[in-house]
Amino acid sequence: MSSKYVIGVDYGTDSVRTIVVDAGNGNEVAAAVVHYPRWKQGLYCNAAESRFRQHPLDYIEGLETGIRKVLAQAGPEVAAAVVAISVDTTGSTPVAVDATGTPLALLPAFQDNPNAMFVLWKDHTAIGEAAEINTTAATFPGNYLRFVGGIYSSEWFWAKLLHILRVDEKVREATHSWVEHCDWIPFLLTGGSKAADLKRGICSAGHKALYAAEFGGLPPEEFFTAIDPLLAGFRARLFDKAYTSSEAAGKLSPEWAERLGLRTSVTVGIGAFDAHMGAVGGQIAPYHLSKVMGTSTCDMLVAPMEEVNDTLVKGICGQVPGSVIPGMMGMEAGQSAFGDCYAWLSNVLAWPLQHLLPATPEAAQLKQEILDKMIPELSRQAALLPVDESSELAVDWLNGRRTPDANQELKGSITGLQLATDAPRLFRAIAEATCFGAKAIVERFEREGVPVKGLIGIGGVAKKSAFIMQMMADVMNMPIRIHRSEQTCALGAAMFAATAAGVYSKVEDAMQAMGQGFEKEYHPDATRVSIYAKRYQRYKALGEFTTTLTKTKAHAALSDIA
């Protein structure tokens, strides 16, 4: 067998997806999805407190099970021809580790402690800490937030570290360093035994940890201790260098080679976040916004360095050279809730099914059948409704706002309700709000001098919902192409694996050879564009009102404390 094969591993919010790909043409040979059992049980999480934690064992078991499954499907000849593995993960999803680089939750003393586990991207327990980082940065010399849009988010690296240090003394005393999920998995696979040897990817380092060449790496120690003395010493125990995902983290360790049924000559690539690798898997082009649409959205845009120059886009999730494609500026934005908005409404409507049906196998089957049909049928019915300026209107901040201008304290809102409002009308309002939230991101890029020339849709919502994608094209007044791959993020990881192993000299060549192309393109409906433009202005007004209410409640809470 002359072909070389690569493995792409995509860690999502609910499961890990693994594919084996022919490095020569991008053909998918085998695929597997493994759900996280502890996460599925709702362990270690409390949605009312915005606390979402994941146990490292879910990641480890999912990695081993998924790779073994795809290799069993592909056969021994393919397994023998695998040359590289790369992973992408959600982010910012960091964890506390000891000096050996072991997550504390893998130690007996902390095995059931949520604070010793990975702090999932959607965890917002660090809102207060993020606010303090922003306050300190506003008066501290150096403008250390300028490459992350000027606002630090509670979803990110330093805010989450400070929160964990504050709320758990035992974890604080045991924490040697703080590591992103996408950096820890390559460390695990290569047999890392010292936290100091961890290779950090430029993607996680630049977008979430404030790493920049202009700063000489991370901001100075004095900046972090000005935020809180508890952060003292962490900078020295983190990293001075970051790597692009086209580089190798090392070779597969003997232990993991045996566990997976692979050779120790297999290259393990530097990790990155799912949206960044997904943008590559989805064949991103300069100035085209690549929208990875799942529970949230991550929107990626790349531009030639010489064209961006010193342009800084305020209120996005960072702009980092090489974070998507080495040699190009990578810019990230996104929405804190997208698919989660639809899931929320579905859960509300399904309350009687969850609580009133008898606990019988027949009832369980009926409940699942209804749940499976709910969103498709709501979409079908909503598509039949006329578009008018005065119908129900919503704001999509059900999990706060990521971009533009991160503010995780914000809440969603719905107005225009009446006795004629039914489930399809509510669904339409929620869907429209997610599209308006997407438009606000495009509007911010363009206002700051970075043009958006087209849209690329990636992920489950993009492929499954023609209703939402047509609405997206109408609201944006620009076409949106839907990528063919079912596993775009994992495919992007496979492309980076092929590059790290030297099959290709640069990731653009891997994209060209391994890309699967686009399956559909939605174009704006001219009869609806002007109506959506008017409703978008109402959406912005409702957003401003909602923001005012949030501030009012925050001030009232502070007054009560005083």
% of the chain surpassing 70 pLDDT: 98
pLDDT band at residue 553 using 50, 70 and 90 as cut-offs: low
Pairing between β-strand 248-251 and β-strand 267-269 as defined by DSSP bridges: antiparallel
Instruction: Give yes or no for residue 460 having a pLDDT over 90.
Output: no
The whole-number average pLDDT for the span 485-491 is: 94
pLDDT band at residue 558 using 50, 70 and 90 as cut-offs: very low
Closest by Cα among 148, 166, 171, 178 to 228: 166
What pLDDT does residue 1 have? 42
pLDDT band at residue 2 using 50, 70 and 90 as cut-offs: low
The whole-number average pLDDT for the span 30-52 is: 96
Q: What is the pLDDT of residues 349-398, one digit of tens each?
A: 999 999 999 999 999 999 999 999 999 999 999 999 998 999 999 999 99
What pLDDT does residue 559 have? 45
Q: How far is 115 from 193, CA to CA, in rounded Å?
A: 22
What pLDDT does residue 309 have? 83
Instruction: Give yes or no for residue 57 having a pLDDT over 50.
Output: yes
Angle between helices 423-447 and 466-476 (to 10 degrees): 40
Mean pLDDT of the chain: 95
pLDDT band at residue 562 using 50, 70 and 90 as cut-offs: very low
Task: For the chain, state the CA radius of gyration.
Answer: 23
Q: How far is 90 from 69, CA to CA, in rounded Å?
A: 22
pTM, rounded to two decimals: 0.91
Q: How far is 87 from 103, CA to CA, in rounded Å?
A: 18
Other CB atoms within a 10 A radius of the CB of residue 490 amount to: 33
In sequence order, what are the beta bridge partners of 56? none
Is residue 105 within 8 Å of residue 55, measured between CB atoms? Answer: yes
More confident residue, 561 or 348: 348
The whole-number average pLDDT for the span 178-194 is: 98
Q: What is the pLDDT of residues 204-213, one digit of tens each?
A: 999 999 999 9
Instruction: Give yes or no for residue 221 having a pLDDT over 80.
Output: yes
Structural domains of the chain, ranges and CATH numbers in brackets: 5-282+485-519 (3.30.420.40), 335-484+525-561 (3.30.420.40)
What pLDDT does residue 561 have? 39
Instruction: Please list, in sequence order, all residues whose beta carbon lies within 8 angstroms of the beta carbon of residue 101, skipping any fewer than 6 positions away.
Output: 177, 179, 184, 187, 192, 193, 194, 195, 197, 198
